[in-house]
Amino acid sequence: MIRPHGTTGPATTGPANTSPTATDAATTGPAGGVHAAWLPPEAFGPLGSRRVLVRGDGGLVDTVFDEVEQACARHGGRAARSAGDPGVDLVLALRDAGPLPAPVARVARSAGAGGSLGAEGYLLARAEGVTMVLADAPAGLLYGLFHVVRLGAAAFDGDRPARRHAPAVSLRMLDHWDNVDVHPVMGQVERGYAGGSIFWHAGAARRDLDRVRAYGRLLAACGVNAISVNNVNVHATEARLLTDRLGDVAELADALRPYGIRVHLSVTFAAPVVLGGLPTADPLDATVRAWWAAATRQVYERIPDFGGYVVKADSEGQPGPFTYGRDHADGANLLAEALAPFGGVVHWRAFVYNHRQDWRDRSTDRARAAYDHFAPLDGRFRDNVVVQVKFGPIDFQPREPVSPVLAAMPATRLAVEFQVTQEYTGQQRHVCYLAPCWSEVLAFAPWGPGGPTVADVAAGAGPGPAAGGGLVAVANVGDDPFWTGHPLAQANLYAFGRLAWDPRLDPRAVLDEWIDLTFPAGTTGDPTLVRRTLHAVMDDSWRTYERYTAPLGVGFMVSPANHHYGPDVDGYEYSRWGTYHFADREGVGVDRTRATGTGFTGQYPKPWSRVYESLRDCPDELLLFFHHVPYGHVLQSGSTVIQHIYDTHFAGVQQVAEMRQRWRRLAGVIDPAVHARVTERLDEQLRCAIEWRDQINTYFFRKSGVPDVRGRRIH
């Protein structure tokens, strides 16, 4: 087993690692180096104590064998690669790998096992006392191995009819917003809340490849198969990763390849100018096309399985095709043309809006921008362009409607972009389990209930002819010993991968998987209490966060000074960013209707264009996103807007206080380092939630003059 950097002793989950005191742990992290996250050695106990046969060739099969061999060495089992061995409990085999033990051969020949299993799929079965994973391609064996790990002891119980497993979505990607140079404002990782980058440090490659490998292993275990290794805001040093610093990228690709992860790179659209010395980056210019073709060829010479480019163009100051009077299809197709001969894709972000808006101008609506720019281009993108769309029309707020772009481009490959890093959801100081939010988005049916879902669009099963663009998320990992700053934020990373593999998974079931792996029985004093507490603290934490922050989908109200952390109701109200709430003494919210507002509701197909337009039918949680209403407006819940604001803010703080109480009961039951770190963060969450409650309630009380019907203290 590849050990995370600096880890020499056993993995650090569990009460066995009691060396640091609570205070030490809060500052130094877990004993022995880096927390094992969802792959502690104990999670491999059931598998590692068995007789395991691995059959097949190829790099990823070697990885599977290494995993099995190390687990067996630790837990007393036996790992073999040749079929000669008599007894066997688990077989992981490529179907064309030659003779298989008789029970496995029988299942392989059975009716249910017919047809291709695909590039990443596998068949899992148990018959005649043998558990088996069969695949047609090595990646399938790797994912099958981690399935067996997830099942734990249950993988070796009773019979299991042969069942096929394959990812719903073929591109399952994490975008790192990591900078090579420390950015004067954004630091080493833009919107990073887990320390420095695991890839870069102060202008150089970090070269902590053990840690990169350990990361790849965690990602493979939850199903992620691609990452981009630098920020979408590409500054001068980062631009050079494409050319003279390509070696740094190749090293990362080498470290991640054994776990089936392809490396992608964020590039600047101005590369031909800033790196190539050309006078222009015009996408229709022949010399520019030739430059990209040559640069891309060199990338593939060095990294044959390179994934492709990620581009943020004409967005928040990044260069793009608009400079040359060209549109985003021209821009994206330029890079796609260069990547096509090698099978690469360009992820072209749809996050394009006017970030120099005049707050006085009520006709400009940032929510409209992505659709206005991209929907007219549907059908013009090459097959290897993926247009990457943030899940909501604004910017990763805790609550937004689903972006209408996802229903507007049936002839374009679309990826849905989530933010695992908690920029607007508590910055990994607050517990905010985001799987329920993502799951809602993925299950949303843009053409109406019963129709294709957002997950279908990402998978290429939407109403149009386009293939799927996949799911992408901004990563939340850094060089922090717990990987994610807040240990419970590991669950968000895990859940993103699992939902990308199977968007229909229940977030609670995903959390159970994560709990079982991260806190395996035998490493905690009281597994039932651990499970109950984690569910109580995490299941509803996204809605709790929503309750004590901006109300009813209006968004923002975050502090600009603190990089979006903590409340500042008017912080963005008179700014250029297009994120306003328009509260006055009568009411609050953004009128995005066709009748009297910005017309944004018209970007949705029916029934949503009608539902969102209607004051009566618009879902409560999105009311202020779509409508400007008086404080006395009665919600579907029966409460008024102003009373809802008061009630949810008092309730949200109450819930955080309860989370904190519950967590205390885990003292002495789990790894003290994890306990101490979460305790410290919950203290901060409660402080911050109180601040949110008091600022929001006070602001709206002062604006409206309407008292709380329950007479609670408002300042």
Which residues make up the interface to ligand GCW (CB under 6 A)? Answer: 177, 190-191, 232-233, 312, 316, 351, 395-396, 423
- Find the shortest distance in angstroms from Cβ 419 to ligand GCW: 7
When the beta carbons of 102 and 561 are compared against ligand GCW, the nearer one is: 561
When the beta carbons of 183 and 594 are compared against ligand GCW, the nearer one is: 183
When the beta carbons of 233 and 492 are compared against ligand GCW, the nearer one is: 233
Contact between residue 345 and residue 384 where contact means Cβ atoms under 8 Å apart? yes
When the beta carbons of 395 and 546 are compared against ligand GCW, the nearer one is: 395
Q: Which helix (H) or strand (E) holds 289?
A: helix 286-302
Cα–Cα distance for residue pair 496/490, rounded to 1 Å: 10
- Find the shortest distance in angstroms from Cβ 110 to ligand GCW: 48
- Find the shortest distance in angstroms from Cβ 190 to ligand GCW: 5
When the beta carbons of 199 and 519 are compared against ligand GCW, the nearer one is: 199
Cα–Cα distance for residue pair 705/711, rounded to 1 Å: 13
When the beta carbons of 257 and 312 are compared against ligand GCW, the nearer one is: 312
Residue 683 designated active-site: no
Cα–Cα distance for residue pair 255/352, rounded to 1 Å: 34
DSSP 503: T
- Find the shortest distance in angstroms from Cβ 581 to ligand GCW: 18
Please state, as a whole number, how many other Cβ atoms lie within 10 Å of the Cβ of residue 162.
17
Residue 671 designated active-site: no
**Sequential DSSP letters for 417-462:** EEE-S-TTTTTTTS----HHHHHHHHH--TT-TTS--HHHHHHT-S
Cα–Cα distance for residue pair 534/529, rounded to 1 Å: 8
- Find the shortest distance in angstroms from Cβ 592 to ligand GCW: 20
> What Cα–Cα distance (Å) separates residue 299 from each residue in 59, 91, 253, 338, 588?
21, 38, 12, 11, 52
Cα–Cα distance for residue pair 279/275, rounded to 1 Å: 11
Q: Where do the DSSP E strands lie in 590-678? A: 629-630
H helices of 502-598, in order, are 507-518, 527-538, 541-548
In one-letter notation, the amino acid at residue 445 is: A
- Cis peptide bond prior to 503, omega within 30° of 0: no
Cα–Cα distance for residue pair 358/450, rounded to 1 Å: 41
- Find the shortest distance in angstroms from Cβ 497 to ligand GCW: 20
Per residue, the 3-state secondary structure of 26-83, as one string, reads: HHHCCCCCCCCCCCCHHHHHHHHCCEEEEECCCHHHHHHHHHHHHHHHHHCCEEECCC
- Find the shortest distance in angstroms from Cβ 424 to ligand GCW: 7
When the beta carbons of 501 and 565 are compared against ligand GCW, the nearer one is: 565
Residue 440 designated active-site: no
When the beta carbons of 424 and 663 are compared against ligand GCW, the nearer one is: 424
Cα–Cα distance for residue pair 317/323, rounded to 1 Å: 11
- Find the shortest distance in angstroms from Cβ 355 to ligand GCW: 10
Residue at shortest CB range from ligand GCW: 395
Cα–Cα distance for residue pair 466/527, rounded to 1 Å: 46
Contact between residue 220 and residue 259 where contact means Cβ atoms under 8 Å apart? yes
Contact between residue 137 and residue 120 where contact means Cβ atoms under 8 Å apart? yes
Residues with Cβ within 8 Å of 288's Cβ and at least 6 positions away in sequence, in order, are 272, 278, 280, 281, 282, 334
> To the nearest 10°, the Cα dihedral for 154, 155, 159, 165?
120
Instruction: Identify the bridge partners of residue 133 per DSSP, sorted by sequence position.
Output: 92, 124
Q: Give me the catalytic one of 159, 316, 361, 683.
A: 316
Both tokens of 190, joined, read: 């833009």
- Find the shortest distance in angstroms from Cβ 474 to ligand GCW: 7
When the beta carbons of 166 and 265 are compared against ligand GCW, the nearer one is: 265
Please state, as a whole number, how many other Cβ atoms lie within 10 Å of the Cβ of residue 331.
27
Q: Give me the catalytic one of 175, 238, 365, 395.
A: 395
Q: Give the catalytic positions in this structure.
A: 316, 395, 423
